[in-house]
Amino acid sequence: MPSQLVLRKRISSTQSLQKIFKAQELISASRISKARFYAQNAMPYADAITKAVRAVANHAKVEHILTNNNRKALATAVLVIASDRGMSGSYTSSIIKQANIQIAKLKQQSKKIQLYICGQRAVSYYKFRNITIDQFWTGHSDAPTAERSQEVSDALVQKFLATSKNSGVDEVIIVCSEFINMVIQRPRVIRMLPLMVVDNGSDPDELGESLAKVAKITTTASTNTESVPLYEFEPSAEAVLDAILPRYVQSRIQECLLESAVCETASRQRSMHTANDNANDLLEDLIRRANQARQAAITNELSEIVAGAAALQNG
């Protein structure tokens, strides 16, 4: 059994860690509502721009490079959205695992991979393994800004417009996290480019999922039963698409970043709550062992005193 000094040091260090866990849990609990508020407030804009893009697609028979689904994919850009800080349980590791699975599938199809990272934890993971990162962004993963989503979308759109013949890419895939509830957050893979417009209330174009939930931007007939208004485009439908499609991509990336921030905060709150409970259990065990060690020391001292007194009497 360890000595009382060792047990007291372990009790002190565990109590210090418990304070950190409790503080992180309270901070995450205070931030989760704010993160969900920002994510929900971004939805009206995303719905509005989705309707606008769908209106152009349904009323103007134009070809656009961002919507060309017939180009052969030789190079793929994979955007991995992870966290900047730890103490969030398996949040980052599950996303990285899903990203590695997707990258392995793309390599089996003989596609060239270009890796883009959001989040310091994922950057450190791939740099440690000497995996080339084409571009990365760090900072504020739990509170993403519109400027950050604009930077990411501009970089990906420029790569897509360059095409694989000019060191560009032919498709863009996003690996991020989906918020189900406060307990469940699961990684997901989204094909961002070539563009597909997501209907209001439907799931994104997730790889491996049914594409029946997704309305392609190139569709000329509307699937809605409601009456569709007539539109006139000035100066032209092509100019409108050139202006609105990059903003649509930016809104989708902003949506992924905000939802990932909600998932990160919820995962951190849950993991810190679990760590706090484990620290309580460990403290109870250490205190019990420390009491046993103290009682054993007292019993040993009493035995030595009694033995010494008996020796003096016999002498």
Task: Give the tens place of pLDDT for each residue, 8-60.
Answer: 899 999 999 999 999 988 988 888 888 888 888 888 888 888 888 877 776 76
pLDDT for 227 equals: 47
What value does the mean pLDDT of the chain take?
82
Cross-strand pairs, 177: 187
pLDDT for 283 equals: 92
The answer to whether residues 247 and 179 belong to one domain is: yes
The answer to whether residues 12 and 131 belong to one domain is: no
Would residue 209 be called left, alpha or beta, if left means φ above 0 and alpha means ψ between -120 and 50 degrees? beta
DSSP string for residues in 82-148:
--SS--STTHHHHHHHHHHHHHHHHHHTT-EEEEEEESHHHHHHHHHTT---SEEE-S-TTS--HHH
Q: What angle do CA 167, 75, 136 make, to 5 degrees?
A: 70
The answer to whether residues 205 and 298 belong to one domain is: no
| Total domain count, the chain | 2
pLDDT for 230 equals: 66
Q: Cis (ω within 30 of 0) for the bond into 235?
A: yes
Is 311 among the domain residues?
no
- Answer whether 177's CB lies under 8 Å from 260's CB: yes
The answer to whether residues 19 and 144 belong to one domain is: no
Residue position matching structure tokens 């017939």: 70
Is 315 among the domain residues?
no
Average pLDDT (244-266) is: 90
Give the integer Cα–Cα distance in Å for 234 and 245.
16
Is 38 among the domain residues?
yes
Is 247 among the domain residues?
yes
The residue with greater pLDDT, 142 or 60, is 142
The answer to whether residues 239 and 213 belong to one domain is: yes
Is 186 among the domain residues?
yes
The residue with greater pLDDT, 301 or 68, is 301
Neighbours of 27 (CB within 10 A): 15
Quick one: tokens of 124?
């450190």
Confidence check: pLDDT of 120 > 90: yes
> Which of the 8 DSSP states describes residue 230?
P
- Answer whether 177's CB lies under 8 Å from 264's CB: yes
pLDDT for 211 equals: 30
Quick one: tokens of 2?
């360890």
Helix intervals (H) in the chain:
4-59, 91-108, 120-128, 146-162, 237-314
Average pLDDT (154-176) is: 86
Is 310 among the domain residues?
no
Average pLDDT (169-183) is: 89
Q: Which domain holds residue 289?
A: 4-27+269-302
The percentage of residues in the chain with a pLDDT greater than 70, rounded to a whole number, is 85
pTM metric for this prediction: 0.78
Q: How do beta strands 75-81 and 171-179 pair?
A: parallel
> Which of the 8 DSSP states describes residue 203?
P
The answer to whether residues 203 and 297 belong to one domain is: no
Give the integer Cα–Cα distance in Å for 151 and 157.
10
Min mean pLDDT across 70-74, 88-92, 260-264 is at: 70-74
The residue with greater pLDDT, 85 or 207, is 85
The answer to whether residues 161 and 218 belong to one domain is: yes
- Answer whether 134's CB lies under 8 Å from 116's CB: yes
All residues at 6 or more sequence positions from 229 whose CB lies less than 8 Å from its CB, including other chains: 55
> pLDDT band at 173, cuts 50/70/90?
very high
Average pLDDT (178-206) is: 72
Residue position matching structure tokens 């039963």: 225
- Answer whether 313's CB lies under 8 Å from 55's CB: no
The answer to whether residues 222 and 115 belong to one domain is: yes
pLDDT for 1 equals: 63
Buried b (16+ CB within 10 A) or exposed e, 256-278: bbbbbbbbbbbbbbbbbbebbee
Confidence check: pLDDT of 264 > 80: yes
Min mean pLDDT across 2-11, 213-222, 283-292 is at: 213-222
Confidence check: pLDDT of 175 > 60: yes
CATH of residue 69's domain is 3.40.1380.10
CA torsion sign for 55, 150, 160, 101 is: negative
> What are φ and ψ of residue 231, in 5° steps?
-125, 150
The answer to whether residues 192 and 236 belong to one domain is: yes
